[in-house]
Structure 1
Amino acid sequence: MNGIEVKRLDWTMLSTIFLLITMSVAFVFSARFKSADLYGDTWEKQLMFALLGMGVYAALVWFDYKVIATLSWWIYAGAIILLLAVFLFPANNGAQRWIPLPGFTLQPSELGKIAVAIKLGAYLSAPDRDADEWKTFFVCAAIAGLPFVLIAVEPDLSTSLTLAPITLAIMLYAGVKRKLLLIGLAVVVLAGVTACLWIKYEQPTQEQLDNGYVPDKSEFLPRMPILQDYQKDRIRVFVRDGHDVADAGWNKLQSQIAVGSGGLHGKGYLHGTQNILGFLPSAVAQSDFIFCVISEETGFIGSAFILTLYAVLLGRCMRVSLRSRDEFGRLMALGIGVMLFCHVFVNIAMTIGVLPITGLPLPLMSYGGSFMVSTLIALGLVQSVYQRRKIRN
């Protein structure tokens, strides 16, 4: 049944969302404080994106999520069409990830992740679905595999990889070939470790040699043909201390300095030197590295507060999954919660050097219209499930 019952809303989740958005606008302004003349007032755009997203959020809370299950194939098909449409537009910085619209640039991969969570939840929650059948396993793999390939060839490998834990969590919970999934997970982890080690000891390119790079004796393995050079550089920076700190490793070095220099209390709002002086590039400070800006200006206390907000938000998503009235709502909320966790964990881990640098933004904090709106779409679906939850006696 459509409608919004104020008393049945998850006000803890809603309050957390408002706090994160408020801090996002404030620190996006800080990240552009000295470069507003070059890039414009991005904080105003971020506020506009947030207001637009909250409008969609409210509409989805009003809308009965159970109807979405009946529309899941249409939603999934629409996401695939948008993912294919990006290849009709010119590349931007060597990638075809966006669809230019009047006053807005759409990134379909963000909507694709939500569509996969919806479709998997709808497919596996069907009353006649047998989780032990091989057909169920392969259909689920195909549902996640098609957008995975389309996003990966844009190329946007980091975003495509988030589909793996979303799919794994939903399939494991639904009981789809759990033994096979765990074996597959082990194989993927082993392959990832092997790839990192291969890249660490890989021979340099001819271009690197021509530019004066002196290879180490340990760099003896032939070139890996799978990943592109910029992707390998990100991994190489992670597995080799001090590798190319003036170029590929610059962002990693400056982000670690920014986080560490904040100390306990931080340097104060609008007083972060790594950000203000441009050591942390302004092109990424407001988006992928917004956590560095926050950590430098608010210190450990501010960073811990942000992490607490995310813990509350993710905890509420898991609570919604447990309290759902039906299996579709439970699986969809679980998938969305895992998606948000991946973004939070990977983004913060990369800024402190625990994981390689990737392009995953921080939910409700990083600058970007598509990501802000899509995140609020996902949370609106979760709130819709919660509003129609089972009431415990």
Structure 2
Amino acid sequence: MWNRLKAILADFIQQADLVLLGLCCAATLYGMALIASATRYLNIGGIVRYVGVQGAAMVLGICAYIFMSMLDLERLMRRWKWLVAFNVVFIALLLTPFGVSDNTGNTAWLKFPFLPFSIGPAEVVKITFTLLLAKQLEWLREVKRDLKSFPSALMVAGHTIALMGWYVGISGDMGNGLTFFFIFLCMAFVAGFALRWFVLLFAGSGAAIAASVALGLMPDYMINRFRVLFDHSYDTLGAGWQQTRGLLALGSGGLFGQGYMQGTQTQAGEGSLPARHTDFIFCVCGEELGMIGCLVVIALLAAIIIRVLLVARRAETPFHCYVCVGVAAMLIFQTVVNIGMCLFVMPVIGLTLPFFSYGGSSLLTLYAAMGVVSGIKKRSPVVRRPGRPLG
């Protein structure tokens, strides 16, 4: 047993993407330092609890990274029907007593009595959805040889819209619902779908949103989240409260910040900076470590995304390429929206900053997704450089 484990680890070290793993670990450790500062006002017990959970999730995440690196995706996708069933059933668990609501009223978490943390079904389903969509795109390209027709576009878009509708209808969580949509857009674009279908999709989506507003179908709180973007003085104690406080903290840091664990808003009591260890962790960084600290955050996330896209470029099959593009799209969307929320240019839709925000299940699934990318790199052909032997 021990020899078997040693052989697996040796194979992992030789072939897995250790650079990607190193970048993920660096981002997580940086995030844990920010979480420690963001929860300091709760006393030492609060710091230990939040940082401890994040640290445990990181350890489990590295294990998930190793496991997913070893996973044969082609073999897994032969049972694609089971993955479809898993997506449907896992999201449906939110309707059971295990489904719990967050402070926004969305039922987007599962709390099992035998687990010390909650699980966000969307975090797990993002991975399985990406795998299924990639397989569907590869089938249309390699078997049907049809990526331009309306039926093909409808098939892929229908898959995405059905999952989005199922998830958002049950949970009310529009943020992760839009993440599914962005993953679909990037993967379909890279696969080579005709641009006319994207134009039609955006036109139809715009018309649907305008109609829902005109008919009063869109909730007032959702409309107000967009309204405050154009008028920062509107409802500063309601819809604009989080972003007003976040922007105040972020802007007060200047170039080098007020000092680690010295931020005025970050270290103040409850209510001074809402969701400081989750949605607005970037504001904590800006206040205490300044623009320099924020640029390091962006640089780490950009390096991870670029690394994933490099693996996509060298992937052995279209399926592997699409999977990597989907993972990169997930990271890009969450990063842009979360930082945009903190800068008061994007609506608050509850998306955390990958690897930096507090969240055990989110961090664990991020490492699992990165492990999938590492496994794809492991199976990709080696790119030879002229005049240099392989080795």
In the alignment of these two chains, the number of paired residues is 366
5+ residue gaps, structure 2, are: 1-6, 385-391
Whole-angstrom CA distance in 1 between matches of 2:56 and 2:206: 40
Q: By how many angstroms is 1:257 displaced?
A: 1.0
Write the mapping of 1:133-144 to structure 2, written as runs, cut at 5 A: 133-144=149-160
**Correspondence for 1:310 among 297, 301, 307:** 301
Percent pairwise identity: 26
**Correspondence for 2:330 among 325, 339, 357:** 339
Q: Give the stretch that moved more between structures: 291-300 or 123-132.
A: 123-132
Q: By how many angstroms is 1:15 displaced?
A: 1.5
- Alignment partner, residue 26 of structure 2: 19
2:52 is paired with a residue of what secondary structure? helix
Q: By how many angstroms is 1:133 displaced?
A: 4.0
**Correspondence for 2:63 among 55, 59, 62:** 55
Q: By how many angstroms is 1:231 displaced?
A: 1.9
Q: By how many angstroms is 1:10 displaced?
A: 2.6
- Alignment partner, residue 4 of structure 2: none
Q: Give the stretch that moved more between structures: 141-150 or 129-138.
A: 129-138
Q: By how many angstroms is 1:29 displaced?
A: 1.1
- Alignment partner, residue 205 of structure 1: none
- Alignment partner, residue 9 of structure 1: 16
Q: By how many angstroms is 1:9 displaced?
A: 3.0
- Tell me: CA distance 1:178–1:116, structure 2 relative to 1, closer, same or farther (3 Å): farther
**Correspondence for 1:164 among 151, 160, 181:** 181
Whole-angstrom CA distance in 2 between matches of 1:75 and 1:39: 38
TM-score by length of 2: 0.87
- Tell me: CA distance 1:279–1:186, structure 2 relative to 1, closer, same or farther (3 Å): farther
Whole-angstrom CA distance in 2 between matches of 1:65 and 1:29: 37
- Tell me: CA distance 1:37–1:8, structure 2 relative to 1, closer, same or farther (3 Å): closer
- Structure 2 contact 100–110 (Cα < 8 Å) conserved: no
2:111 is paired with a residue of what secondary structure? strand
Whole-angstrom CA distance in 1 between matches of 2:277 and 2:96: 28
Amino acid at match of 2:280: F
**Correspondence for 2:317 among 326, 347, 357:** 326
Q: By how many angstroms is 1:8 displaced?
A: 3.3
**Correspondence for 1:28 among 15, 27, 35:** 35
- Tell me: CA distance 1:179–1:259, structure 2 relative to 1, closer, same or farther (3 Å): same
Q: Give the stretch that moved more between structures: 292-301 or 82-91.
A: 82-91
Q: By how many angstroms is 1:282 displaced?
A: 6.0
Q: By how many angstroms is 1:280 displaced?
A: 5.6
5+ residue gaps, structure 1, are: 200-221
Whole-angstrom CA distance in 2 between matches of 1:148 and 1:228: 18
- Structure 2 contact 68–371 (Cα < 8 Å) conserved: yes
Q: By how many angstroms is 1:342 displaced?
A: 0.1
1:228 equivalent in alignment to 2:219: yes
Whole-angstrom CA distance in 1 between matches of 2:325 and 2:237: 41
**Correspondence for 2:110 among 86, 94, 99:** 99
Write the mapping of 1:111-260 to structure 2, written as runs, cut at 5 A: 111-126=124-139, 127-129=142-144, 130-153=146-169, 154-188=171-205, 225-260=216-251
Amino acid at match of 2:110: I
- Structure 1 contact 66–329 (Cα < 8 Å) conserved: no
Whole-angstrom CA distance in 2 between matches of 1:183 and 1:382: 32
Whole-angstrom CA distance in 1 between matches of 2:319 and 2:43: 45
- Alignment partner, residue 215 of structure 1: none
- Structure 2 contact 242–274 (Cα < 8 Å) conserved: no
Q: Give the stretch that moved more between structures: 228-237 or 43-52.
A: 228-237
Amino acid at match of 2:134: G
Q: By how many angstroms is 1:265 displaced?
A: 0.7
Whole-angstrom CA distance in 2 between matches of 1:12 and 1:81: 35
- Alignment partner, residue 274 of structure 1: 265
TM-score by length of 1: 0.87
- Structure 1 contact 255–280 (Cα < 8 Å) conserved: no
- Tell me: CA distance 1:291–1:125, structure 2 relative to 1, closer, same or farther (3 Å): same
1:353 equivalent in alignment to 2:353: no
- Structure 2 contact 250–287 (Cα < 8 Å) conserved: yes
Whole-angstrom CA distance in 2 between matches of 1:262 and 1:189: 38
**Correspondence for 1:286 among 271, 277, 280:** 277
Whole-angstrom CA distance in 1 between matches of 2:173 and 2:56: 26
